[in-house]
Amino acid sequence: MARATTTRSKITFTVVGWLCGLLLFFPILWTFLTSFKTEGDAIANPPYFLFFHWTLENYAEVQARSDYLHHFLNSVTISVGSTLIGLVIAVPAAWAMAFSPTRRTKDVLMWMLSTKMMPPVGALIPIYLIFRDWGLLDSRIGLTVVLMLINLPIIVWMLYTYFREIPGEILEAARMDGASLAKEIVYVLTPMAIPGIASTLLLNIILAWNEAFWTLNLSTSRAAPLTTFIASYSSPEGLFWAKLSAASTLAIAPILIMGWFSQKQLVRGLTFGAVK
Amino acid sequence: MATLHTRASARLMMSPAVILLFVWMIVPLAMTLYFSFLSYNLLTPGAHNFIGFTNYYYFLTDPAFLTAIGNTLLIVIGVLLITVIGGILLALVLDQPFWGQGIVRLLVIAPFFVMPTVSALVWKNMFMNPVYGLFAWIARGLGLTPVDWLADVPLFSIILIVAWQWLPFATLILLTALQSLDGEQKEAAEMDGAGAISRFFYIVLPHLSRAITVVILIQTIFLLSVFAEILVTTNGGPGIQSTNLTYLVYAQALLQFDVGGASAGGIVAVILANIVAIFLIRLIGKNLDR
């Protein structure tokens, strides 16, 4: 009897669960499908779901007409660059806070978190003017630095929550065996810290890739990452849905795959360790 | 000796991060504050006179300001309602064992990884277009008149788009919290004859309260500054119907070149965000001690 109810509830939840999942995923699936349609098929009414003339011309056209690859590489440079620089700065800081905490460590962490809460419009005008005067507008280096700074608190926090889980006794044991600080870091702690650093790297590339306040305001074409490039489709001419879909599919595919791998870290990273 | 040495090196290791963040926080904020007292327009070069609180006076008495504050709050509250309630329901479903659970989970969290400009444009065109969009097609199929979403209900449309992006985040966090719920407690309640609904309200919901608070506060930080979705869909319009505080400041600065006025608006936004931030800092600070 009990088993029968379980099976029935399992079937119910299978149906409900898949319906919810497909409903939420549908806009992405629709974008993916539309990217293979001709522009005429893309606006057909009633819409074509699967039985249309499949074509790759949109992908070719997005590259040929607007140099998609250029913007893709900008996105890669800016998101990976800002994350790597952020890690170089954050690893020592998080390390020190996790392994030699003082009375003020918590205050420093809290203060770092509070910088994340400053709304970007509070800094937009001076940053824009500084960038204009220093010739940094629409430059990859400028965007990399800004994205590094806005994500630095998250990087420090994530690393801190990971490092804190490394047992301190291991450190002491190594120290007793006469290991120097440098040896301690290279041979004992680094292997244990690698997973945490990798997760942080992954999540921050995702965040930087999708960042759309600073990239939209500080870049126009030369350094424009995909966020800005896609935004240029907001005032297009003629039929463009299929091309928009192709550009969008290419823009979200790599990050969606990375995101699926980092779903666990997402919770930890974005809640600053409050939910694990 | 050793501790003194460690402490000094710890300070050294922390200093680059601390100094950089300090500069990043203080310099732009101080400049914004300074500009907010100046008569400073990029179109009129020359002297920037000190004009006291005039910029604040104009910003705060501009009818657009009240509209923008209202819209900002509506976006925050609307998205929070959809994502928290929807997130709880979805998390409850995903917490049950069923076939293909792992795949459904991936489908559900996917929207979070879509960049804001993509999701806004996909919704704007392929779903909300009054002639060719899918919603219009569905409406016609049901014998209704299609709605011109972004012209007739712009704010609601933006709330819908932003909620779609944030629902996965809420779901994922609530699901994580749900999975840490002690199964024995639920079983005991079940044996005592508690129905599914009372089990939800007396056991599950209290257990989720912390996660719900975290979701609300973190989303609020981001939702106060919704920008890209507005920029690529409505440009704050029609009129100023979908202008929020962030967009208002952006428009004043980079479209009207009024640095002084926009800076005053920026400071107002900072004050507003700080009120929210105080609560968040307290909450997360408490959890740090555990």
Q: Are A155 and A90 in contact (CB under 8 A)?
A: yes
Instruction: Check CB contact under 8 Å for B98 and A252.
Output: no
Chain B CB contacts of A213 under 8 Å are 225, 227-228, 246
Tokens of A48: 């074509």
Mean pLDDT of B55-67: 88
Shortest Cα–Cα distance, B171 to chain A (Å): 10
Are B259 and B42 a contacting pair, CB within 8 Å? Answer: yes
Residue B3 has pLDDT above 70, yes or no: no
* pLDDT at position A29: 94
Q: Is the pLDDT of residue A1 over 50?
A: no
Which has more confidence, A234 or B182? A234
Q: What CA–CA distance (Å, rounded) separates B201 from B10? A: 47
Q: Using CA atoms, how far apart are residues A203 and A197, in angstroms rounded to an integer?
A: 10
In whole angstroms, give the CA distance from residue B190 to residue B9.
56
Please determine, for residue A186, whether its predicted confidence score (pLDDT) is greater than 50.
yes
ipTM given for this complex: 0.87
| Predicted pLDDT at B21 | 92
Residue B123 has pLDDT above 90, yes or no: yes
Q: How confident is the model at residue B131 (pLDDT cuts 50, 70, 90)?
A: confident
Asked if A144 and A215 touch (Cβ cutoff 8 Å), the reply is no
A2 or B105: which carries more pLDDT confidence?
B105
Nearest to B221 by CA among B158, B175, B274: B274
Instruction: Give the confidence band of A192 by pLDDT, cuts at 50, 70, 90.
Output: confident
Q: What CA–CA distance (Å, rounded) separates B21 from B6?
A: 23
| Beta carbons of B109 and A263 less than 8 Å apart | yes
pLDDT at B117: 93
- A108 CB neighbours in chain B (<8 A) are 14, 18
229-258 of B, contacting A, C-beta below 8 A: 231-233, 245-246, 249-250, 253-254
Q: State the DSSP code for B53.
A: T
**In chain B, what residues touch A260 (CB-CB under 8 Å)?**
106, 109-110, 113
* A124, A149, A228 ranked by CB distance to B20: nearest: A149
Q: Which amino acid is at B149?
A: W
CB contacts of A234 in chain B (<8 Å) are 117, 121, 124, 231-233
Say if residues A268 and A275 touch (Cβ distance below 8 Å).
Answer: yes
Cis peptide before B238 (omega within 30 of 0): yes
Query: Strand B49-50 and strand B38-39: pairing?
Result: antiparallel
From the list B110, B221, B224, the residue facing A256 with the nearest CB is: B110
Set out the domains of chain A in order of their start, with CATH numbers: 7-57 (no CATH), 66-270 (1.10.3720.10)
Nearest-CA distance from B192 to chain A in Å? 17
- Asked if B122 and A18 come within 8 Å (Cβ–Cβ), the reply is no
Average pLDDT over residues A30-46: 86
Instruction: Tell me whether residue A235 is exposed, middle or buried, using C-beta atoms within 10 angstroms of its C-beta: 0 to 12, 13 to 18, 19 or more.
Output: exposed
Of all residues in chain B, the one with the smallest CA distance to A268 is B173
Give me the domains of chain B, ranges plus CATH numbers.
1-29 (no CATH), 36-289 (1.10.3720.10)
A176 interfaces chain B, CB cutoff of 8 Å: no
d(CA B54, CA B39): 9
Q: B39: helix, coil or strand?
A: strand
Lowest-pLDDT range, A32-46, B1-15, B17-31, B245-259?
B1-15
Q: What is the CA radius of gyration of chain A?
A: 24
Question: Mean of the per-residue pLDDT values for chain B?
Answer: 87
The residue of B15, B72, B90, B122 whose CB has the most chain A CBs within 10 angstroms, and thus the best one to mutate to test that interface, is B122
pLDDT reading at B82 higher than 90: yes
Q: Which residues of B touch A274 (CB under 8 A)?
A: 210, 214, 283-284, 287
Taking a contact as any Cβ pair under 8 Å apart, which residues of chain B between 114 and 153 contact chain A?
114-119, 121-127, 131-132, 134, 137
**How far from B164 is each of A57, A72, B119, B157, CA to CA, in Å?**
30, 25, 9, 11
Alpha carbon distance B44, A55 (integer Å): 52
Instruction: pLDDT band for A273, please (50, 70, 90 cuts).
Output: low
SS3 letters across B208-277 = HHHHHHHHHHHHHHHHCCCCHHHHHHCCCCCCCCCCCHHHHHHHHHHHCCEHHHHHHHHHHHHHHHHHHH
Interface-testing mutation among B21, B35, B135, B258, with chain A (most A C-beta atoms within 10 A) = B21
B213 pLDDT above the threshold of 90: no
The Cα A157–Cα A109 span in angstroms is 7
A84 pLDDT above the threshold of 60: yes
The model's pTM is 0.89
Q: Give the SS3 label for residue B41.
A: strand
**pLDDT tier, B111 (very low <50, low <70, confident <90, very high otherwise):** very high
Number of inter-chain CB pairs under 8 A, A vs B: 300
Instruction: Find all residues with CB under 8 Å of B249, minimum gap 6, and list them.
Output: A121, A124, B262, B265, B266, B269
Beta bridge partners of B251: none
Q: Residue A276 pLDDT more than 70?
A: no
pLDDT of residue B1: 38
Average pLDDT rounded to a whole number, residues B33-42: 87
Q: Which of B115, B131, B243 to probe the A interface (max A CBs under 10 A)?
A: B115
Partners of residue B233 in chain A, C-beta under 8 Å:
234
Q: C-alpha A188: how far from its chain's center? A: 30
Name the residue facing A17 among B11, B101, B127 (closest C-beta): B101
Average pLDDT, chain A: 86
Nearest-by-Cβ selection for B126 from A18, A22, A34: A34
Rg (CA), chain B: 24
> What single-letter amino acid sits at A81?
G
Q: Which of A164-168, A209-213, B2-6, B184-188 comes out lowest in average pLDDT?
A: B2-6
Compute CA distances A163 → A95, A152, A158, A193, B177, whole Å. 7, 16, 9, 7, 22
